[in-house]
């Protein structure tokens, strides 16, 4: 998922698996330009400036996320979170999960519609900036959790399956302050085949 050169101790911005304008109108090319091309890139550049000479010189992102604090954690987690978020989309979307993931969603939440309602409510209601996640917990059960700021479920030993970025920079250009409209549209571009592969 991530590109890292251990010799140079640098991280690079992963390429998007689609063109910048191909998620429109759910996410516009302008939002991709700012969100991916500026914010995501800034986290990469920040982390590359922080790790030389630190204990994390040879560490991958997941190790940094699990062990680091402060700015090193924040920037590493935001690189990971954003890559995970962007790689969960496909132009036109795949509307419903299938297979084992679909069965697990039905078992845990009663139906896909119930799951979507609970996830959307968590995303819309998260105070301030952060992420809403579908995760597999220590008992291999699905849970919906909220994480503030750069929060990442790996920190708690959970397995991330799906995430929705609810920092304002994820949606403000297209939706202004209408987070609920962004979250409603978010479901239209999810690549459920990709999400199921994470399960």
User: Which is the CATH superfamily of the domain at 4-19+27-86?
Assistant: Fe,Mn superoxide dismutase (SOD) domain (1.10.287.990)
Quick one: pLDDT at residue 6? 45
The pair of three-digit structure tokens given for residue 181, joined into one six-digit string: 């409209």
Q: Which numeric CATH code is attached to 99-198?
A: 3.55.40.20
The string of DSSP codes covering 133-170 is EEEE-TTS-EEEEEEETT--GGGGT-EEEEEEE-SGGG
Q: Which residue has the higher pLDDT, 6 or 22?
A: 22
Averaged pLDDT, 92-118? 95
Helix (H, G, I), strand (E, B) or coil at 185: helix
Give residue 8's pLDDT.
44
Instruction: Tell me, yes or no, if the pTM score tops 0.75.
Output: yes
Contact between 72 and 51 (Cβ < 8 Å): yes
Measured CA to CA, the distance from residue 12 to residue 5 in angstroms comes to 9
Mean pLDDT of all residues in 13-21: 96
Residue-range domain boundaries for the chain: 4-19+27-86, 99-198
Position 83 pLDDT exceeds 80? yes
**Cβ proximity of 126 and 168 under 8 Å:** no
Residue of higher predicted confidence among 9 and 48: 48
Q: Do domains 4-19+27-86 and 99-198 have the same CATH topology?
A: no
Average predicted confidence (pLDDT) for the chain = 95
**Mean pLDDT in residue range 157-161:** 98
| Residue 95 in this model has a pLDDT that exceeds 60 | yes
Who contacts 14 (Cβ-Cβ below 8 Å, separation ≥6)?
1, 2, 3, 83, 86, 87
The string of DSSP letters for 103-142 reads HHHHHHHSSHHHHHHHHHHHHHH--SSEEEEEEE-TTS-E
């Amino acid at each position: 998922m991530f590109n890292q050169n251990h010799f140079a101790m640098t991280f690079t911005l992963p390429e998007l698996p689609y063109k910048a304008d191909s998620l429109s109108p759910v996410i516009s090319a302008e939002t991709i330009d700012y969100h991916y091309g500026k914010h995501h890139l800034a986290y990469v550049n920040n982390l590359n400036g922080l790790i030389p000479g630190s204990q994390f010189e040879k560490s991958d992102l997941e190790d940094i996320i699990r062990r680091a604090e402060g700015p090193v954690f924040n920037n590493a987690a935001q690189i990971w979170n954003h890559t995970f978020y962007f790689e969960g989309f496909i132009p036109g979307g795949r509307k419903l999960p299938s297979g084992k993931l679909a069965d697990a969603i039905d078992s845990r939440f009663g139906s896909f519609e119930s799951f979507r309602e609970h996830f959307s409510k968590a995303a819309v209601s998260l105070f301030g900036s952060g992420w809403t996640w579908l995760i597999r917990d220590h008992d291999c059960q699905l849970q919906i959790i909220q994480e503030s700021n750069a929060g990442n479920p790996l920190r708690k030993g959970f397995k991330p399956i799906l995430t929705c970025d609810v920092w304002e920079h994820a949606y403000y250009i297209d939706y202004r302050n209408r987070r609920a409209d962004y979250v409603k549209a978010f479901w239209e571009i999810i690549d459920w085949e990709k999400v199921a592969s994470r399960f």
